[in-house]
Amino acid sequence: MLALALVLFTAPALIAAAPAPPDGAAGPGRTVEERVAVPGGPGTDAPVELDTTLYLPEVTPAPAVLVAHGFGGSKASVDEDARALAARGFVALAWSARGFGASTGEIALNSPDHEVADARALVDRLAGMPEVTQDGPDDPRVGATGGSYGGALSLLLAGTDPRVDAIAPVITWNDLGQALFPNAAATVAPPLDTPARGAFAADGVFKRGWAGVFFSAGLGTPAPAGVSSGAAPAGAVPTGVAPTGVAPDPTCGRFTAEVCAAYTDAATTGRLSPATAALLERSSPRTVTGRITAPTLLVQGEQDTLFGLDQADANAREIAANGTPVQMRWYAGGHDGGAAGPEVTEAIGTWFDAHLAGGEPVDPAFPHAVESGLRAGSNTTTGRTVVAADYPGLTGASTLTTRSLALDGDRQVIATPAGGSPAAITSLPGVGAALGSLGSRLSAVAGALPGQSARFATPVLDAPLLVTGAPRVELTVARVPGQPAPAEAVLFAATSEVTPDGTRTLLGSAVAPLRVAVPADGTPATVTVTLPGVVAPVEAGNRLVVSVATTDQAYAGGTDPAAWAVAVNGGLTVPEVPGRTVTANTVPPGPAVGIAVVLGLALAAWGTGWLVRRRGAAVAVDRPDADPLVIEGLAKTYRGGFSAVKGVTFRVRSGQVLGLLGPNGAGKTTVLRMLMGLIRPTAGTITAFGQPVGPGAPVLARIGAFVEGPGFLPHLSGADNLRLYWAATGRPATEAHLDEALEIAGLGPSVQRRVGTYSQGMRQRLAIAQAMLGLPDMLVLDEPTNGLDPPQIHAMREVLRRYAAGGRTVLVSSHLLAEVEQTCDHVVVMHHGRVVADGSVEDIIAGGGAATFTVDAPTRAATVLGDLDGVRAVEIDGAAVHAELNGTPRASAVRALVTAGVDVASAGPRRRLEDAFLQLVGEETVGE
């Protein structure tokens, strides 16, 4: 798990990239690799070497952009971003921060005297380059960008070096103390609202999960072999090259001794000591935001339990107070939700175009993503971008509105267990991107342990509500007479959406930790709690629930046994930001990961993302007369110009079993992937039951699919895999028709065995049964008989026929022509991305005119047929007469035979489907 967490943490801000190619190997210009010596810092004369890459555009001189990487990464992490900036005409400079990659030195957490000083030295270097546009002596025209660790560095650099002309920090912090010890001294203004207030303890609640990931990333970056790591503070042993007979300190890795001591103190005490607070303050952009004059684009993720929306909001407020231009963007991702997409990369490029290259001014609008994937009452992995006129957190903004919702305020008693265990699980730091949007649903279940959580619900909403920002609630916390209690309560407040059937979704997968001083005389403490900032659409008919829990495994909570009486004062204040929808798109779903009481299931489930891609609970209203599937002019052209599908048009009607045929490379699977919303078409339309189909379309809830091979959790049984899959859809268990699906699988007692022991055929049958869960109105199967033996194929044939006979529709892609001929009643044949035949099986087979007649007088029948215009190649075969009719209707041939006194027992096409197929696509294509 730690390995995955580190991968997600290193460079989550922009586009992940492979290591840089050799010098000059790619891009519009060329690259220059160089090691740059910078001062080691106070108290040492030993320099540090930074490993840098300079990306030059085709035309110079040009403005420059410093591109900083995330914590645990290196310059290779931002290679693609630097190349994209060079392609826009900027000189880009990327480097590995001290303590990372091939750079020397020790990690000082963006210290002004270390990492920030290094960035200023790189600006000095740009000032001496003829390739860089200069605004004056020793003053290059330069911007800075980066994600997370690199984003904070961009802010700290802009606040200490007035030569910086524009910045674009992504998913980063304002106050590192507040980020790692939430509600410590309440110095951060939460988003779109007012600060939390009340009887909070001064040292907050330690975010030990994320802090541990942070620190472990530094342990895992050894200094390059044979390169000095630079001088360490007094008493510390430099890492990388240790004095003879002295080994590097394995407990500190490449951190400075000061940072190592701060983490050790926090991890062992769970408290924010004055020394640690001072260290974190030194690395906080809030110390310099009042001096930032460089136009600032702030990008923050809506799925981020490390640096929430409140951190970006605080940066925006403080920088805007200087009169500095500020724009805010929120996107559907973050440390828990994955990297930003191309729209963010484009926005950053446009920002630098405007403020470094004299481009068009940037619209001050506030774009934010609205994701509605696997939320309460919906399994549709879709999203849209909503744009408000301006960002409500800035002075003079007018777009913020609030809505007050009543809460049932009865007092509830909750307990802190001894040792703080078992603890609720609301997030897995660093693994949220792998959980995808399913994590918020599962965390709502694992985050509500019996006896440890109080819940206060709103009435059922009579209209949809888009929560945009941080809800706020006032709580009272009191001791329970006669029960043990320490001087303070450590609690975790959160907001969930609850459907009428009780399905809960934890908004943002995040909680607001509170360390509340509670009077010993029984008087309740009153606190106003700012809940996690989120963007969450809440459906009409659902409720919002405020929960207050005593444990959370991501934090260092209370360990003394205690009982607390918790109540709410008044209602829940919910912020909204009205705006207009400008895009509707797919939010790429992360792999579906089940969270059980133990974390082993999460580890085993990372590779099963396809579980949640294809099923939704929201059912679109269709036209009663609409065909199940209509495809018109469908095309798909990939990057590089390859056209996999070209103008495909066909329709599937109710009750049909349609076979989609074609040689390898014909485009069949591409069509199915577009039908299931897995990829977007380049052109054309797909409608199912009268509703448009695309990534995340609600009508996909009516389609069951098995495309591109099965994938299951190998340590679970077949039956448990089916149950888990259905549970992930959030639909009631009664709608699964699990018994029918298990009967379809035909695995017998093997359905209780671990899937890891299954043969390919057994996995195939289980996958088809999974596609049939819920008895969808249309079933889409790609090569369903692969790995099945003849009896199983025969059984599958009967299953598909019966399925369609009930009024449903089946679409089968297969290369087994004999099976298609016996199973399907309609066929679409594709070749080189186009439809070359579309019709009933009988019509396709008879397309060449070959017919066979069973008669009582074969010789006379042959004569009669031979005398008909156009008929040729008449051949007698026992009681059968074969002939090529060449356009003569078979009915006319039968009429001629009967008129001549020949009794006709049967008349039908002579060819098999295979013959027709080979004629349509050519024998040379078979086996391609």
The mean per-residue pLDDT over the stretch 691-705 comes to 84
- pLDDT at residue 343, as a whole number: 82
Is pLDDT of 73 > 60?
A: yes
Identify which has the larger pLDDT, 499 or 666.
499
| Listed residue (510, 476, 478) closest to 495, CA to CA | 510
- pLDDT at residue 919, as a whole number: 53
What does the DSSP assignment read for 554-612?
Answer: TS----S-EEEEEEEEEEEEEEE---EEEEEEE-PPPPP----SSSHHHHHTTT-GGGG
The mean per-residue pLDDT over the stretch 716-730 comes to 81
CA atoms of 326 and 296, how far apart (whole Å): 5
Q: Give, as one character, the DSSP assignment of residue 62.
A: B
In the chain, which residues fall in CATH 3.40.50.300?
614-841
Strands of the sheet with 296-301, listed across from one edge: 30-38, 48-56, 91-95, 64-68, 142-147, 164-170, 296-301, 326-331, 366-372, 382-388, 580-586
Question: Between vectors from CA 654 to CA 648 and to CA 660, what angle results, nearest 5°?
Answer: 35
CATH number of 401-581: 2.60.120.260
Question: Between vectors from CA 21 to CA 142 and to CA 97, what angle results, nearest 5°?
Answer: 50
Q: What are phi and psi of 864, to 5 degrees?
A: -60, -45
Model confidence pLDDT, tens digit, residues 587-638: 333 332 332 322 333 333 323 333 333 333 333 344 556 889 999 999 988 7
User: Average per-residue pLDDT in the chain?
Assistant: 78
pLDDT confidence of 422, banded at 50, 70, 90? confident
> By three-state DSSP, how is residue 2 classified?
helix
Burial zone of 604 (CB within 10 Å; 0-12 exposed, 13-18 middle, 19+ buried): middle
Model confidence pLDDT, tens digit, residues 881-923: 888 777 677 788 888 999 999 998 888 765 555 555 555 555 4
Say which residue the tokens 């009780």 belong to.
502
Burial zone of 95 (CB within 10 Å; 0-12 exposed, 13-18 middle, 19+ buried): buried
Q: What's 849-925's CATH class?
A: alpha beta
CB neighbourhood size of 890 (10 A): 17
Point out which residues pair with 160 in neighbouring strands.
none
- pLDDT at residue 590, as a whole number: 32
Model confidence pLDDT, tens digit, residues 624-681: 568 899 999 999 887 667 788 999 999 998 888 888 887 777 888 889 888 888 888 9
In the chain, which residues fall in CATH 3.30.70.100?
849-925
Single-letter code of the amino acid located at 36: V
Helix (H) or strand (E) holding 178: helix 176-180
| Cβ 382 vs Cβ 620: under 8 Å | no
CA atoms of 655 and 633, how far apart (whole Å): 24
Helices 790-805 and 760-771: angle between axes, nearest 10 degrees: 0
Token pair of 491, please?
């609690």
CA atoms of 498 and 478, how far apart (whole Å): 27
- pLDDT at residue 926, as a whole number: 40
- pLDDT at residue 76, as a whole number: 92
CA atoms of 266 and 922, how far apart (whole Å): 72
Residues 6+ apart with CB under 8 A from 389: 365, 366, 398, 399, 579
The mean per-residue pLDDT over the stretch 407-413 comes to 88
Q: What's the CATH number of domain 2-174+286-362, 3.40.50.150, 2.40.110.10, 3.90.1150.10, 3.40.50.1820?
A: 3.40.50.1820
Model confidence pLDDT, tens digit, residues 753-781: 888 888 777 888 888 888 888 888 898 88
| Listed residue (506, 171, 120) closest to 329, CA to CA | 171
Identify which has the larger pLDDT, 389 or 671.
671
Q: Give, as one character, the DSSP assignment of residue 664.
A: T
Poorest-pLDDT segment among 141-150, 874-883, 904-913? 904-913
Q: What topology is assigned to 614-841 in CATH?
A: Rossmann fold (3.40.50)
CA atoms of 853 and 871, how far apart (whole Å): 14
- pLDDT at residue 617, as a whole number: 35
What does the DSSP assignment read for 665-720?
Answer: TSSHHHHHHHHTTSS--SEEEEEETTEE--TT-GGGGGEEEE-S-----TTSBHHH
pLDDT confidence of 874, banded at 50, 70, 90? confident
Is pLDDT of 793 > 90?
A: no
Q: Which of 295-299, 523-527, 788-792, 795-799 has the highest mean pLDDT?
A: 295-299
The mean per-residue pLDDT over the stretch 204-228 comes to 67
- pLDDT at residue 282, as a whole number: 95
| Listed residue (497, 808, 431, 846) closest to 657, CA to CA | 808
pLDDT confidence of 27, banded at 50, 70, 90? very low
- pLDDT at residue 375, as a whole number: 41
| Listed residue (654, 641, 602, 580) closest to 809, CA to CA | 654
Model confidence pLDDT, tens digit, residues 219-259: 654 444 333 333 222 223 233 333 333 345 677 888 999 99
The mean per-residue pLDDT over the stretch 188-215 comes to 64
Torsion sign across C-alpha atoms 223, 224, 225, 231: negative
- pLDDT at residue 642, as a whole number: 77
